[in-house]
Structure 1
Amino acid sequence: MDAPVEPSPGYGQLSAVDGHHYMWRGAGPGGPEGSNIVSVYDPSTELWSLFPTTGPLPPGEHGSCSVCVGRCLYTFGGSKGWSRSTSFFNDMSKLDLDTLQWTKVQTSGSQPIKKSYCGFIRVNERTLCCFGGVGIQGPTQPGSTFTKAGWPGRSRSGYTNEFHFFDTQNGVWSSPELRGERPLPCSSFTFTMVDQHRAVLFGGMQSQSFWGRLNDVYLFDFRVMEVTRVKPVQGEPWPVGRAVHAACCLNYGQDHPQLLVYGGLGKGFKILGDMWTLVDTGKWTEVTPPESMTPRLFHSITATSLGPGLTEVLVFGGSVKWPLFKPVADLETTILRFELTGPSASVVGPSVGKWALVDVAHNDTKGSAQRLNEKRIRQATAHASSVSDTSDHSSQDRVRALEQQLLAAEQREHDTQRQHQLQLQEKDLELATQAKELAIKDCELAEGNRREADLSAQITALERELDGKTKELAAHNTEVWKIPANRVIIGRRIGKGGWGEVLEGTVSVAVKRLHEEIAVPIYVEKLEREMRLLAEVRHPNLVQFIGANFDEQNQANRSPPTLVTELLDMNLRQAYERNQLDPGNRLSIFMDIARALDYLHQRYEPIIHRDVSAPNVLLQRMPNHQWKGKVSDLGSANFLQHAHTMGEGAIIYSPPEVIPQAADPFNPPPRQSVKIDVYSYGIVLCEVTASRFPSAEHYRDMILQVQREQPVMCELIVRCTKREPSHRPSMAQVMVELNKIAPF
């Protein structure tokens, strides 16, 4: 893949990965916009290589942002054209650095607006962060603002301070909450990671300062998702405001990382060439660059660590003119090395530094290694000739100075190797300590497992003991609700139903005596289980269960079992037949029934009544002469299939899923749910509202009557009696609808 082409002067985005520098989208003489060439610089050989790429190129020609993740280069956004003809993009593209194949990334989620000149950094191995920029106004992200730029002919263009994360594994944009003092909408700033969790934003331009420049500093902490503004200290040096400048991090991943800022566009369109470093205490230090460094803007820089205290910085291209309408890219690439000679605990990087220009070779057909060797041989020969031919005193001084520099370099190399050895020894000691700690942890874990097994055995024994006690207590509790036969004194008969007759007790209770057909051992045993459940149920709108009589002596004498409940005045059907209900009291009773059924349905193990009807709603006269509704016959519905009679009344209240059908082995009957009671409740609403028995031939007329008189109530009835159980509302929803009709 050798390419005999040299990188063109220009501007673009630099990214570093695996110790190499990758430059994409250069522009200038010999490097037209839209080029498919990627330039790669190898610091170990000091050589450039230029490679063509394949696949769909990113649409942005300038202002896009790039960052490397693993062996992929991600590019976002950008713009095309200048002034009024500018087009903005929010596409995400990915370049595989092994195959040099471009692909457009399919994204989803809360995507950023179409924009360029924003901040784009890698937070970790799968997460990218995008902030701010200039673009076209779109949906406003919560917590962000958009400020229009006021450019002629571009009414929707402006600056944003939106904040997004991008997950490279699943292609999803997200909008995490950002606490603290968020920067104002701006663009053309630098956004740089300074360690594994923090990034620094510096400078930029915004609508209020388009003709001026910002010099604000903001620190983003991604561990707590908070941003803090770093304010100047009075009397301390601080760089002037600037935009379209460049920044990188020195000593990243080592002790005391430090932000390096270079060049940019200052106030009054001044092209800056100053260089500054920032430590985490908020202190700026100005660094003197080499005299050969030309002030510039629209350039890029990346940093690569060459070892402890030594960082190589690559400054790519840029312009010496303000490209308001057409960029002019006319600067060659420069390689700088920053050497740390005096580290400080409070300084992120060197406190005293030395810069040196590095000659950059270009890849050609001879090959990288051969070219580099020839260059070094020529340099050594020229240096030897210069020393041998010069006899004056100044030449000897220069030779001695060079020798001293060589000795100093060898000493530094020796010190570096010694430091590495000490670090390796410390690592070995640390690993040994960790291995010992792991062995101790393994012993503790084994002991913990043994104790856990002992505790598990104890818990099993206690659970068995508790189960036995529970069974004893349950057996004892089953006797609580039983009433001896000689205590049940029966008076006149109140009514008769499908599974028994109702008689009045002598102490104002209702006594329900089962038919003899039901009073057989197998049904009595089932009924006893229902009575245990009834003994636990308590609600103001349920008829209170007092007890039952299932004496073995009664069974031997074929005397039917009896159930004892509270005695109420009349049932709901009798009330509307006797014109005892006014509209307000009728709605109050509907709510009473709904509360009782909702209580049964919302239990940990829901209870289905299965026999909700107007006769099974009993009424109690209240002091205000109003009626209070109570649902009765709870627990008897399971015995309807064994009832003495099955009249039209039971059928009319039954939903389709419980009406007996012909057996079909391929289509078993649907699973019954609490929606059975909702259907029956809807029939009761229709019956009481129309004050007519809901027979099959009259039901349609009753619905039309209710629709004319109370259309809102008719809608609720229709919803409750839907054929599909899942389409019926819950009793909680029914209560909400009733409150809309008449608040309770």
Structure 2
Amino acid sequence: MSAAGKRQAPGHPPPEGNRFQRSKKEPVPKYGHATATVNDKVYMWGGWRKGFPEVHSSQEKTSLLSMMDVFDLKKGEWSEVETYGSPPLGVRGYSCATIGTRIYYYGGYCGHDWCRHSSLHYFETTTHTWTNVPIANPYQSPMKKSSSGMVAFRDEAEDYLFVFGGVGMLCSANQSEAIYIPWKENPDNGWTNESHIFSLQSKEWITPEVRGERPPPCAGFTLTQITQNSALLYGGVDSTSGQCLSDAYIVELSKASIHWYKVQIMQDKPKPAKRHDHTAVCISGPLFGQIKPMVLIAGGRDSRWKNLGDLWILDCSIGMWTKLEVSQPVAFRHLHSLSIFSIADYCVYAVMYGGIEEWIPNASASDQAMLSDTTVLEICLNSDDHWEMSAVLASQILRETEEYKGRLIQRLFHILKHGKEDQHKVVSDGQEVMRLCSELEQAQVRAQEAESKAQSLQQEVHQLQSQPLPPSSHSPLLGRTGGKTPPAKATPPQTPKSGTPPLTRATPPTAKKSTSLFSRSPALTPKSKPTPAPAEAAATVGLTEPLPPLIDTSLDIRAQQIAIELTSDALKLHLVPQKDIATNGPSIDTGCYGDTAPGLYKRSLPVSVKTLKIRRGRNDAYSNVILNHKLVKSFQLRHPNIVQLLHASVQQEGLGDEREIVLVSEPLTITLQQQLTKKALAKQDIINLSLDVSMALSYLHNHPHYPIVHGSVSTSGIILEPLALKWRAKLVDFFTANYFYYASTETPLVIDPPYIPPSPPSLSSPSASSIPVLNTKFDIFCFGIVLLETVTRKQPPVEAAGRESLLGSVKWSSLAGVIRSCTSVLDADRPPADTLLNDLHKL
């Protein structure tokens, strides 16, 4: 039986035994197609191929369109999968956009005569099923067309599709304010600059209010999403002159109106040639957790219909083009496809397939010189802030060797092992490798010296810890347990090692200024640093989370200075002047650490802005170590369930005893606490959000270097990001909770008074009343309280008996068991994050 004969009716799931049938098969030569990235795969559908039936519909055509080509980034190979339901009939020149695991397709050229479509379908990548989206108001649909642009955006927690321009059948036009220009060869068809918005919730087409400088009617352009609510339009063919365009426009999108801005291109810089039928992808910007949106354009053809093989990058924030230097014209084609994978910050893999090598004027559509080669390009920002490109895969490598897999795995493991600092160093040749090796050796020598110093200091701390503890009014345990410490026998002080300053409390004289990036007070020299008494130091040892060796709470201020120097270098890419950050709305969250409000970075890009007031202590040097370290760790965190910190502005000098820190993160929407005040969550939503938060905690607690404790998990610290059919939960405030916990110090060793992050009373771990420790089990306890508050929509009582009474009202027994284990009095009885994640999967 043919593939078409086994096809299921639209909306029906495929038979269980036939799901996800695939075969390793390279795609056929084609053009006029598009690709979309979902997770680590590229999905390619449609396109014109030799021998394709030039009919409106047939069994053969449906059979061909029911197959989807999938490129697996990890394997570096294509496979062909069978799909279910009824696929679209617009085989080429269609528009597509991705929302979650769904790929939406609009319009397209049918393949015969002048026939085009205005239907909207989506392909569900998890079930390989096609669905024809029903239209509530079909009379408001865009004209039947191809070569238009479509992007997805969000407004007020709902998903929308924006469709612009293209060429098609003028008899289906319906917007009075749009421009429609007939085609000379066939006046019933023509170009347009109409704009439509489709609501995926109401299933209605919306005619938005258009403001600003609207682009002219055109086709063959690219429309590329650059932020959650904006897109870049570039190039195309002018409808009146037939000449290619080089203008770039940015459109800001909302459900009721759109606003066009023409990008002011730097005239004193090189610019790409005018073109159409090219491809474009966004390679950095807010969609990737960065600030400046960068768009890559590849290939296309000029006004004489000759192919262009160059690649250019547009910095949308300043209107500057940068040409990518390539050893060979890998993009010498048009009507091809291009999709990207974000491998790391400022490093993407671009997958290019198919297209036309050169248009043959008098040949039919099936007789054009089609391409079938797969090219994967690695595009990264190097240490000099220049974009570089190298081809890491060509079709001959794919067919003949396993080199691609090795190169990709090597790249991925290099990034995972060395972290963000090395992502900006692209190894391109032998000299670069030698230079990096030399730098690495020098860094290792400095690190070994600092490590040796830290180890010797740690040994001294252990010696102090082994001494009996006399009573001390500074002991963190006094006053919390209500007990008194019996007097201990006097013990002779330990003789410090050679080269280590004696433990004294000398008054620091005037010294040179610290090398800290954030320093205000003079640095303390080894001879003059204030140090605690042995009893005070020993009383506090072990009561805080261990810091990494280079930034441990040490007795030697030089070790602290080394730590500051090492961590400050990693912050340079993220520190921005405070004048570039501005709030543009009321506070969306007033927490115990500071206020969070919506804002703009450089007056254009939407962000969230959190302002912290930092109280200066008597030991600013140690505070700087913690500040640098916690900021570096915050910038390095990369997880879909953790709000991405983008930039920071640190006030160098402040008035009085305070200075200001401004944190810039991705835009925030609504907190879990705010959502609970509106309405209760469904069971599946509770499970999904719980899994999201537990995955974030598992990521933090299983950090490869040492466990990272969040320290302030609460319903007000969980952000809900609306997706197509559900919420995505994200943890926020990692930096603030950790920094204030460790920086609330009066000397390098003593935390006096002991500090517990301020939070609602019900979020205080039982163990926190006796031992002021911030550990991973504290996070688990807080998570249990969050679950209890989520399912009951009530603030859990402080007392254990009150919490147990509230927990008794929960009828969901399996979830109640998870909450009870998380809120156990003893840390040892609470499950680790990985076990918790497994328990939640069983709900």
Instruction: Give TM-score scaled by structure 1 length.
Output: 0.50
Give the number of the structure whose residues are more often helix, by fraction: 1
Select the structure of larger CA radius of gyration: 1
| TM-score, normalization by structure 2 | 0.44
